[in-house]
Amino acid sequence: SNIMTAYTKSELEEALSRAHNDLSQAKLAIGEAAGTESNWHDNAAFDYANMEHDLKSANLGNLRKKLRDVVIISPRQQTDKADIGNTVVIKFEGEHEEETFTILGPDDSGKKQGWLSFLSPLGRSLIGKREGENAEFSATGEKKQKVKVIKILPGNFE
């Protein structure tokens, strides 16, 4: 299943509708590029139209896949430990300012400020942590970073 907020699902459904239209336009462009008397074997416009069609088709397939078996995330009210649907206040080691993140699904990440995928290195390190605990994570190719969980709050993202 694909875990996401209702907000992200709605955005993806709108993108799917646009992708259907884009694919229809790409099909028309192939016909126009081929023309009635065109030699499609040596026709750059025809080749380009076919590449555009393939890209639009792949995008449509990707969106359909993301919207299959969707599980909508509800704001998590329990604050005993961090989990998907919680908002977590953390402090990076060596920093003075606290930062706030809401742990959500992969497609939610970056949609709004502070939305973080539970599959990201930081998101994975926060799952299961309690207030006052430390977590360590490493982004690909980077040195390990440490964070301290300052507060676990109910999710606030609807």
pLDDT for residue 41 is more than 70: no
pTM of the model: 0.83
What number is the average pLDDT over the span 24-29? 90
Q: Which residues contact 65 (CB under 8 A, 6 or more apart)?
A: none
| 3-state secondary structure (DSSP) of residue 88 | strand
- Show the tokens assigned to 28: 């028309």
Residue-averaged pLDDT of the chain: 93
pLDDT tens digit string along 89-137? 999 999 999 999 999 999 999 999 999 999 999 999 999 999 999 999 9
User: Residue 31: its pLDDT value, please?
Assistant: 82
Please name the residue that has the structure tokens 């709108």. Answer: 14
Alpha helices in the chain (DSSP H): 6-34, 44-66, 121-126
Q: DSSP assignment of 3-24, as one string?
A: EE-HHHHHHHHHHHHHHHHHHH
